[in-house]
Structure 1
Amino acid sequence: MKKLGFILAASALALAACGSGEESGSEGTGGEASKDIKLGATAGPYSDMLSKAIVPGLEEKGYTVELVEFSDYIQPNVALDGGDIDANLFQHTIYLENFEKENGMDLSALITVPTAPMGLYSNQYDSLEAIEDGATIAIPNDPVNGARALLMLQDEGLVELDPEAEVLQASERDVITNEKNLEFQPIEAGQLPRAVDGSDLAAVPGNFAIAAEMDLLDALALENMPDQYRNVVAVNAENEDSELAKDLVEIVESAEFEAVIDEEFEGFGKPEWMAE
Structure 2
Amino acid sequence: MKKWLTAIILLFVAGALTACGGTESKESGSEKTTATEETKEIKIGATAGPYSDMLNKAIKPGLEDKGYKVEIVEFSDYIQPNKALNNDDIQANLFQHTIYLENFAKENNMELTALISVPTAPMGIYSNTYKSLDDVKDGATVTIPNDPTNGARALNTLEDEGLIKLDPNANPLTVSEKDIKENKKNLKFQPIEAGQLPRSVESADLAAVPGNFALAAKMDLLSALALENMLDQYRNVVAVTTVNKDSQLAKDIKEVVESDEFEKIIDEQFKGFGKPDWMK
For normalisation by structure 1, the TM-score amounts to 0.88
Deviations 1:175-229 (A, max 9, x none): 0000111000000001000000010000000000000000000000000000000
Aligned partner letter, 1:221: A
The structure with more radius of gyration: 2
Deviations 1:39-94 (A, max 9, x none): 10000000000000000001101100111000000000000000000000000000
Please name the residue that 1:130 is paired with. 135
Q: By how many angstroms is 1:30 displaced?
A: 9.1
Name stretches of at least 5 consecutive residues in structure 2 with no aligned partner. 1-31
The structure-2 alpha-carbon separation of the partners of 1:44 and 1:83, relative to structure 1 and needing over 3 Å to count, comes to same
Aligned partner letter, 2:49: G
Please name the residue that 2:102 is paired with. 97
- Matches of 2:228 and 2:273 in 1, distance apart? 10
1:158-237 matched pairs, under 5 angstroms: 158-237=163-242
Aligned partner letter, 1:58: L
Aligned partner letter, 1:132: K
User: Per the alignment, in what secondary structure is the counterpart of residue 64 of structure 2?
Assistant: helix
RMSD: 1.4
Q: Percent identity?
A: 71
Please name the residue that 1:82 is paired with. 87
Q: 1:106 aligns with which of 89, 111, 127?
A: 111
Q: By how many angstroms is 1:33 displaced?
A: 7.1
Please name the residue that 2:69 is paired with. 64
Please tell me whether the aligned partners of residues 89 and 234 of structure 1 are also in contact (alpha carbons under 8 angstroms).
yes
Name stretches of at least 5 consecutive residues in structure 1 with no aligned partner. 1-26
- Matches of 1:252 and 1:57 in 2, distance apart? 9
- Matches of 1:139 and 1:230 in 2, distance apart? 19
- Matches of 1:30 and 1:215 in 2, distance apart? 46
For normalisation by structure 2, the TM-score amounts to 0.87
- Matches of 2:81 and 2:156 in 1, distance apart? 29
Q: Do structure 1's residue 254 and structure 2's residue 248 form an aligned pair?
A: no
- Matches of 1:215 and 1:111 in 2, distance apart? 26
Please tell me whether the aligned partners of residues 28 and 34 of structure 1 are also in contact (alpha carbons under 8 angstroms).
no
Please tell me whether the aligned partners of residues 209 and 216 of structure 1 are also in contact (alpha carbons under 8 angstroms).
yes
User: Per the alignment, in what secondary structure is the counterpart of residue 114 of structure 1?
Assistant: coil
- Matches of 1:180 and 1:136 in 2, distance apart? 10
- Matches of 1:234 and 1:189 in 2, distance apart? 24
- Matches of 2:65 and 2:246 in 1, distance apart? 20
Aligned partner letter, 2:187: L
- Matches of 2:251 and 2:153 in 1, distance apart? 31
Q: By how many angstroms is 1:34 displaced?
A: 5.9
Deviations 1:84-133 (A, max 9, x none): 00000000000000000100000011100000000000000000000000
Please tell me whether the aligned partners of residues 89 and 231 of structure 1 are also in contact (alpha carbons under 8 angstroms).
yes
Q: Give the length in aligned residue pairs.
A: 249
